[in-house]
Amino acid sequence: MMPLLEIENLSVNYGAIQAVRGLSLTVEEGEVVTLIGANGAGKTTTLRAVSRLLRPVSGSVRFAGRDITRVPADEAVKLGIAQSPEGRQVLARQSVQDNLELGAYTRSGPAVKTDVYEMYERFPRLGERRNQLAGTLSGGEQQMLAIARALMSRPRLLLLDEPSLGLAPIIVREIFSIIRDLNAQGVTILLVEQNARLAMNASHRTYVLEAGQMTFNGNSAELVNDERVLHAYLGG
C-alpha cells in the first residue's frame, strides 16, 4: 500500500545552516509516527517542510500519492495536512470559539459550526470556555485548543509539535490519551516530542534524528528497549 506521507531525501537550510539533511521517512495511513532527537536535531523543521511552511532545498514530499513539495501551505491544508505548532500559538486575544473557526479557514458552510460543537464534546473544557480569550487559558487548555484548531480542517494527517512542552505530568497524560483516541478514530499522526518514552509508547514507529540526519528508525515497541535509544534519549 502507498504511504500517506512519503518524504524522500529531504534537505532544508536556513541560510548557511543545514537543518535537515537527506531525510527520508514514511507515515502509513492510520499510524502514529514519532520523531525524536535532541534540541536542534531538525524535528520542527521537518514538520514545517511537510506543512509547506518551509521550502526544502532538495528532496520531495508526497502526500496521498501526490507530490506536494511545491504546493502553497493553504493548499496543503486543503489536501488534508494540519499542524499543531510548537508553543501552541493560539490567537491570544481571540476567543476559544474564534480560534476554532479560524482553524477551518479553508472550509465554509454549516459543517464548520457542527465541527466546532464536536470539538466541544471532545474537549469539554474548551466548551466551558468558549467565550474566554485564548491567551487566558492554562497551558494544557491552550494545547487542547491548538489540537482542536488543527482538527477543524478535518485533516487526514495531523502534525503535532511538542504537545507536552511545559505541561504538568497529569495534563501530559491527558494530552496523550487524546492523541491515542484521535488515532483510534482514524487520524494519522506525525508526532515530534522531547518526552521520548511517552511518545514511543504512544506511537507505532519512531525515527531518531541527530544533527539533521536520521540515524535509525524502527518499531517503537522495539526501539524503546534499544541500547542506543535508552542511552541517548531515555536516560537509561
Q: Which residues of 107-130 are buried (b: 16+ CB within 10 A; e: fewer)?
A: eeeeebeebbeebbebbeebeebb
d(C-alpha 25, C-alpha 35), whole Å = 10
> Under the criterion CB under 6 A, does residue 22 sit at the interface with ligand ATP?
no
Q: Which residues pair with 58 in a beta bridge?
A: 11
Identity of the residue, 124 or 166, whose beta carbon is nearer to ligand ATP in the bound complex: 166
In this structure, the chain runs to a length of: 236
Identity of the residue, 183 or 195, whose beta carbon is nearer to ligand ATP in the bound complex: 195
Cα distance between the two ends of the chain: 36
One DSSP character per residue, 90-112 reads: --TTSBHHHHHHHHTTT--SHHH
CB 23 → ligand ATP: shortest distance, Å?
11
Ranges assigned E (strand) in 64-192: 66-67, 81-84, 157-161, 188-192
> Under the criterion CB under 6 A, does residue 223 sit at the interface with ligand ATP?
no
> Under the criterion CB under 6 A, does residue 39 sit at the interface with ligand ATP?
yes
**CA distances to 19, 43, 64, 212, 232 from 162, in Å:** 18, 10, 25, 17, 18
Which range, of 38-46, 131-139, 150-158, 223-231, touches ligand ATP by CB under 6 A?
38-46
Per CB under 6 A, the list member of 27, 32, 37, 217 interacting with ligand ATP is 37
Which range, of 3-11, 39-47, 87-95, 170-178, touches ligand ATP by CB under 6 A?
39-47
> Under the criterion CB under 6 A, does residue 185 sit at the interface with ligand ATP?
no
Identity of the residue, 40 or 127, whose beta carbon is nearer to ligand ATP in the bound complex: 40
Per CB under 6 A, the list member of 34, 44, 153, 183 interacting with ligand ATP is 44
Identity of the residue, 22 or 127, whose beta carbon is nearer to ligand ATP in the bound complex: 22
> Under the criterion CB under 6 A, does residue 43 sit at the interface with ligand ATP?
yes
CB 155 → ligand ATP: shortest distance, Å?
20
CB 49 → ligand ATP: shortest distance, Å?
9
Give, as ranges, the residues between 82 and 121 that touch ligand ATP (CB under 6 A).
Answer: 86
Ranges assigned E (strand) in the chain: 5-14, 17-27, 32-36, 58-63, 66-67, 81-84, 157-161, 188-192, 205-210, 213-219
Identity (one letter) of the amino acid at 163?
Answer: P
Q: Which residues pair with 188 in a beta bridge?
A: 157
> Under the criterion CB under 6 A, does residue 40 sit at the interface with ligand ATP?
yes
Tell me which residues touch ligand ATP (CB under 6 A).
Answer: 14, 17, 19, 37, 39-45, 86, 194
